[in-house]
Amino acid sequence: MKTRSLCSLLFVIGFFVCSHGAFAQWNIIPDLRFTNIYCFLAVNDSTVLAGGDNMVLMRSTNGGTSWTNIMGNGISVDTVLSLGEGLGYIFAGTFGVESFYRSSDLGNTWSVVNAGLPSSAQLNAFTFVGGTLFAATEQGVYSSADSGKTWQSDTAGLALSQPGLDGWGMVGIAVAGGRLFTIKNFGGYVYSSQTDSIYWRPITPEYYNTGYAMAAADTTVMIATQQGMYVYGGDTTWLQRNNGLPINDTTQVMRCLLATSDSLVFASLTSSSTTTAVQGLYVTSDIGKTWLRVNDTAFSGASVTAMTANTKYLYAGTRMGGWRIPMADVITAVSSDRPQFPGKYVLYQNYPNPFNPTTVISYALPASASVSLRVYDLLGREVQVLVDERQGAGEHAVTFNAGACASGVYFYRLQAGAFTQTKKLMILK
């Protein structure tokens, strides 16, 4: 089963130069120069599509070297906002009443397939489970058992119109570990459901945290939110994965776009504080435990509206054209820049801090060790055992849920072999 994350017009970010990261050489795609691109789709290593405005729907069948416009032939709208593929079809989401199209011949001909969809639906992302197509839309999740010809609402359990939760659009959907996941823009709420009987259950804490994107990562899911990157840890546990990203307790993510290729996850994001804004493209090969910045001067001052990847190239669409970079360059840079193991034991400060009710505690092990991570109150009484097992070398993270604890200062202590370190955290309710 293959999951495709689709782009949205809302995701507009830039790439800038950073002196410490993975070197990468981007090249402009001549046939896409000066094209306003809203979405990319890599069907395979040869066939790639790009959608935009002004009657632009471009296709390459030679890995992005040359392109032709395949707009028309059944598509009569001006703008293509999203692209997806699966079950033998290519799908295109657009504006207007005729909001959804499909093609069975790689885009040579198109037909309208929107029976059952609301007339104002904007389809942001697609995924497939067996022979069923699921779409994340501005009005919830819809599914189709006949490859998109007819649709039904699958919104049971989603908070679509609760007081204070206006702006319910779902901006991402994915399958991982045999379950469906979807993320809402407003509040960043993530929901999960079994695949055979759809009923969505919230699996995120109750706090405001805008959601931007979702991608399947190995057997779990990764989400991009206002507070950074997270991977799902089970139940309602989310592990924050911001190591190497320009995100800390004084910044917030304003926009983000995710793309995947095998074990690589790309995040194109902008973060800001009260005084500065940082924009860039980052890559991880360990599901977000560490991120490296992809260096280049080509995108300085440009906006990025779309990304997609296959095993040959990573593609980026901007308001002024399309770019690509050989994936081999990225993989080589990641492999050469990433250290094999941490050089020493480290216990990091928890984040966020202060917090309510959950925070993430991270630490690094230079070698395998018996690890104990425990939380204590000011009187030295044990509050919770977070880790008590032997773990391998590398970066580790665990979520502390303080829902049953009173406000105040607490201590957390890491013991790994002969190493011991203690830090303070604050619960603020």
Report the pLDDT value the prediction gives residue 294, as an integer from 0 to 100: 80
Report the pLDDT value the prediction gives residue 218, as an integer from 0 to 100: 78
Report the pLDDT value the prediction gives residue 300, as an integer from 0 to 100: 60
The residue among 317, 318, 250 whose CA lies nearest residue 278 is 250
The residue among 279, 271, 281, 288 whose CA lies nearest residue 315 is 281
| pLDDT higher than threshold 60 for residue 8 | no
**What does the pLDDT average to over 93-119?**
86
| pLDDT higher than threshold 70 for residue 272 | yes
| pLDDT higher than threshold 60 for residue 4 | no
Report the pLDDT value the prediction gives residue 24, as an integer from 0 to 100: 55
Contacts of 22 (CB under 8 A, 6+ apart): 283, 292, 293, 294, 295, 330, 333, 334, 337
Which two structure tokens, joined as six digits, stand for 137?
Answer: 């839309």
Contacts of 146 (CB under 8 A, 6+ apart): none
Report the pLDDT value the prediction gives residue 333, as an integer from 0 to 100: 63
Going by DSSP bridges, is the β-strand pair 27-28/48-52 parallel, antiparallel, or unpaired? unpaired
Least-confidence region, from 19-28, 275-284, 346-355: 19-28
How sure is the predictor about 277, in pLDDT bands with cuts at 50, 70 and 90? confident
| pLDDT higher than threshold 90 for residue 421 | yes
- All structural domains of the chain, each given as residue ranges with its CATH number in brackets, are 22-337 (2.130.10.10), 346-427 (2.60.40.1930)
The pLDDT tens digits of the residues spanning 311-350 come to: 999 999 988 899 999 988 887 766 555 544 567 898 988 8
The residue among 188, 192, 190 whose CA lies nearest residue 176 is 192
The residue among 166, 239, 267 whose CA lies nearest residue 398 is 239
| pLDDT higher than threshold 50 for residue 9 | no
Phi and psi angles of residue 32, each rounded to the nearest 5 degrees, phi first:
-110, 5
In the sheet that holds 132-137, the strands lie side by side as 123-129, 132-137, 140-144, 152-153
The pLDDT tens digits of the residues spanning 359-404 come to: 888 888 888 889 999 999 999 999 999 999 888 777 788 889 999 9
Residue with tokens 């119109």: 161
How sure is the predictor about 161, in pLDDT bands with cuts at 50, 70 and 90? low
pLDDT > 70: percent of the chain: 86
pLDDT > 90: percent of the chain: 48
What is the C-alpha end-to-end distance of the chain, expressed in Å?
Answer: 43
| pLDDT higher than threshold 50 for residue 204 | yes
Tell me which of 230 and 339 has the higher pLDDT: 230
Largest CA distance in the chain: 74
- pTM confidence score: 0.73
Average pLDDT of the residues of the chain = 84
Residue 233 half-sphere exposure toward CB, CA atoms < 13 A:
19
Report the pLDDT value the prediction gives residue 316, as an integer from 0 to 100: 92
Report the pLDDT value the prediction gives residue 429, as an integer from 0 to 100: 86
How sure is the predictor about 13, in pLDDT bands with cuts at 50, 70 and 90? very low
Least-confidence region, from 176-185, 240-249, 407-416: 240-249
The pLDDT tens digits of the residues spanning 250-262 come to: 888 988 999 998 8
